[in-house]
């Protein structure tokens, strides 16, 4: 049991007014308190469920990442340990790339980087790098390598960060044009900018712009514009980033008839748009998108999907508030 998290859960359930004050003292934005409370409650169901360990590990790791952003170091470390323990459990079938151990390691590298656990983050990065190198799915490698690079940069390992960013870029060139490629190129741009490799970031950004122009479908364009907005903001092109983020939001409005664009995917997309708007310094637009995100999350009822959506909502709130 996670004592500290359960204490938070009990407080939030029993005393709404006191819970909001407590959440704010703990660094939780007021609007994130309720979705966080529900996510913690659902996690207890997931913890004792018959889901394969990979799915549980992903749940623990995602919440660890959010808790680190919230500044709750003790709870984040506990969640991280739960994720690592789940990775070591036997699984019935190999997990899909999206929840494979490489994903867990990448999430935890940034978690411990945020917590200033440099030695732990470094060790996790080494393990994660080795796992990702053997992963046949180029799209997953392309997206996670720069993610780890940003964590390594956070703990001061700039040499390791450059290697991870370069590996991400190499993998991105193997990915066909589309959502995965543009996401990876944007992540690499952001990682290079964080490291201080401005010239390389601009080169990668130029490739990302070309890749975004090759995505014909409307739903794909939403992703492309939002990711590109984040990349532009990372190199300081805020006016261009603002325009792209607004275009992404307007393009999203044209996806309502797309039956393949599930509610769960919409939640992830709206979170991405809101963060892009915030990083582009468009406060009002970001808050408007978050309101839409909240209403969209409410449509999900299946336990695991709803948990993931609630975590996305909390994570989006925290990122937007920190940027703004």
Residue 322 has a pLDDT of 86
CA 281 – CA 155 distance, rounded (Å): 26
pLDDT profile of the chain (324 residues), mean per 10? 38 36 58 96 95 94 96 96 94 85 95 96 95 89 94 95 96 91 96 96 96 91 96 97 97 90 96 98 96 97 97 97 80
228, 230, 304, 229: which is closest to 267 by C-alpha? 304
For the chain, the domains span 1-46, 216-324
Q: What is the pTM of this model?
A: 0.89
Residue 13 has a pLDDT of 37
Q: Tell me 175's DSSP state.
A: S
One DSSP character per residue, 244-260 reads HHHHHHHHHGGGTT-TT
Residue 135 has a pLDDT of 84
């Amino acid at each position: 049991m996670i004592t500290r998290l359960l204490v938070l859960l009990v407080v939030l359930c029993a005393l709404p007014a006191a819970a909001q004050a407590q959440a704010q003292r703990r660094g939780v934005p007021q609007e994130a308190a309720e979705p966080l409370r529900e996510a913690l409650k659902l996690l207890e169901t997931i913890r004792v469920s018959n889901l394969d360990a990979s799915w549980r590990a992903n749940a623990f790791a995602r919440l660890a990442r959010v808790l680190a952003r919230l500044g709750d170091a003790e709870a984040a470390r506990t969640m991280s340990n739960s994720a690592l323990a789940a990775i070591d459990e036997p699984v019935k079938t190999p997990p899909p790339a999206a929840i494979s151990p490489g994903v867990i390691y990448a999430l935890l590298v940034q978690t411990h980087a945020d917590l200033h656990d440099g030695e732990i983050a470094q060790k996790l990065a080494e393990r994660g790098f080795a796992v990702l190198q053997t992963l046949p799915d180029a799209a997953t490698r392309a997206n996670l390598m720069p993610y780890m690079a940003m964590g390594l940069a956070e703990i001061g390992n700039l040499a390791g960060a450059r290697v991870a960013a370069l590996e991400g870029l190499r993998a991105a060139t193997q990915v066909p044009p589309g959502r995965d490629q543009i996401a990876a190129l944007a992540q690499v741009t952001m990682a290079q900018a964080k490291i201080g490799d401005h010239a390389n970031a601009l080169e990668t950004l130029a490739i990302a712009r070309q890749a975004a122009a090759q995505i014909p479908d409307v739903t794909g364009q939403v992703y492309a514009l939002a990711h590109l907005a984040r990349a532009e903001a990372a190199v300081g092109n805020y006016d261009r980033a603002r325009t792209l983020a607004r275009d992404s939001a307007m393009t999203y409005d044209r996806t309502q008839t797309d039956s393949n664009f599930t509610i769960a995917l919409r939640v992830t997309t709206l979170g991405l748009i809101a963060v892009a708007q915030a990083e582009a310094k468009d406060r009002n637009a970001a808050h408007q998108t978050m309101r839409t995100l909240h209403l969209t999350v409410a449509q999900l009822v299946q336990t695991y999907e709803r948990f993931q959506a609630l975590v996305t909502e909390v994570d989006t709130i925290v990122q937007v508030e920190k940027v703004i």
